Chain A
């Protein structure tokens, strides 16, 4: 398996623009997680899905953030409108079940100028 695949790897956008981050989990994994990493806050959970259904979105910072999982092999994280403070590395991860090993994608480094 190719592992968790994220795109793009790097994104530079202007403040106010819409940004969409994409994730393909490992085939057969029922859980998908979105994390954000910043120097100030470390690695924090934004949202996670089980069988394509959002289970906990309490980590989503504002209404500007939204996430979807239209099918078992694809998820998006959208920021609209983007702000400079959204600059971070966004990771997607997946696991077979809630208590099994989670695997992370390579991350998307987002810069909002």
Chain B
């Protein structure tokens, strides 16, 4: 399957700071999604973004499919942004393949 690498593995921010999370993948993809796993374990859909740029409030994402990477931007972080952020990709004939995630802690 497609290899997915996320960086950084861990991140600690003070409330109000901005951050960029990166996802590299090893092959062309038909689907790329970003998820937030909250402290209760729920996987929450953030973006479906196989290519291009999308924004949703303080969050935005960009996928450059030709260069096989995606970025998730979090601006003006809040404590409720804490949790693990997963990138997941799907190539031809496969199901979603997840990276190991970026664990984010936002402190007051």
Contacts and interface: CB of A to CB of B under 8 A. Distances in A.
Interface string B90-108: 1000111111110000000
Given A33-B96, A45-B96, A45-B97, A104 B43 contact: yes
Contacts, number: 49
B98 A42 contact: yes
| Chain A contact residues: helix, strand, loop or mixed | strand
Contacts of B41: 89, 106-107, 109
Interface residues of B, number: 21
Given A43-B88, A102-B88, A104-B45, 18 more contacts: A33-B95, A33-B96, A42-B99, A42-B100, A56-B94, A56-B95, A89-B41, A93-B96, A98-B90, A101-B31, A101-B48, A102-B31, A102-B33, A102-B96, A104-B35, A104-B43, A107-B43, A109-B41
Interface of A: 31, 33, 35, 42-45, 48, 56, 89, 91, 93, 98-104, 106-107, 109
